[in-house]
Amino acid sequence: MEGFENRPLFFVYAPPLKGLRKSKRNELQPPYAKAPPWECSVYYWWWAYLRRHDGYRKTCEQGGRGKYKKLYADFGDIYATDFWPWWREHAYLFAEPKPRQVEEVQSVSKDPTLLTLQIPLENKESLTVRQIKRLLAPRINALKQRKTQSKAMYPVATKPVLPSIYMHLCVWDAHTANPDLSDVEIADLVNVPINTIVDGMAEDFAKKGKSHRRLYERTIYRRKQLAVQRHLRIARQYIDNVGKGAFPLRSSR
């Protein structure tokens, strides 16, 4: 936690809050209608997915001993409390380091993200500021065109889509709690969204006959199966990778 004491923390994505946000900086689409504000943060879902990791759970049960002891040293026992006490102690894991300060240097740095200037002190301050801005503008614009790289201890792996992250976990939890249910029954249980439009087949079954209706029902049945299987596959990848300190990440590391 060194370097984070007694200063406001900055996050690439909006952190979890209990009340209204003062700004909409990097605010994500809510995971579902009327979701509480803290669930509108990717960092809440990082915690939620880690709680589904069986190996990490065993390490917590063993007091930090086991395969995931290095991760435990940072994240601690996530089952010991609810989200908010944990977040207050561990928010720094996702925060950006303290910004570098303007300072006087004695030698020229080769760091491409630093610009060393020679400033004549005899000029008026207003003129000096204008000259500095003129030199800075093209460099800053060039950096903005690059993808911003987080320097947090645990950066968000990809741009999060909270409705998808939420639905993956809903399906995972439903399947875990009801292992005997079929994929279609899981889809109905958690209202997995699917495309129900099948080339107009849902229209006027009375005229098109029972065979047409059966074809439509089979198509929707198959779509529900595939949707649940996809959600479970991605949820498993997220859970596997969150145990490696990466979220939300589908491919293995």
- pLDDT tens string 186-215: 999 999 999 887 765 555 555 566 777 788
Q: Is the pLDDT of residue 91 over 80?
A: yes
CA distance 109 to 125: 25
Alpha-carbon separation of residue 83 from 29, 55, 75, 116, 251 (angstroms): 20, 20, 12, 44, 27
Q: Is the pLDDT of residue 44 over 90?
A: yes
pLDDT of residue 128: 85
9 CB contacts (<8 Å, ≥6 apart)?
Answer: 15, 91, 92, 95, 96
Q: Does residue 193 or residue 148 have the better pLDDT?
A: 193
* Region for residue 76 given its phi and psi (left: phi exceeds 0; alpha: psi -120 to 50; beta: otherwise): left
Q: Is 232 helix (H, G, I), strand (E, B) or coil?
A: helix
Q: Does residue 143 or residue 47 have the better pLDDT?
A: 47
Q: Is the pLDDT of residue 229 over 90?
A: yes
Among the residue ranges 52-61, 88-97, 204-213, 232-241, the one predicted with the least confidence is: 204-213
* Region for residue 242 given its phi and psi (left: phi exceeds 0; alpha: psi -120 to 50; beta: otherwise): alpha
pLDDT of residue 40: 95
Q: Give the pLDDT mean for 54-65.
A: 97
How confident is the prediction for the chain on average, in pLDDT? 87
Q: Is the pLDDT of residue 148 over 90?
A: no
pTM of the model: 0.80
For the chain, the distance separating the N- and C-terminal CA atoms, rounded to the nearest angstrom, is 26
pLDDT of residue 61: 97
Percent of the residues in the chain that have a pLDDT greater than 90, as a whole number: 59
Band of pLDDT at residue 39, cut at 50, 70 and 90: very high
- pLDDT tens string 98-130: 877 666 676 777 777 777 888 888 888 888 888
Highest mean pLDDT among 17-26, 195-204, 228-237: 228-237
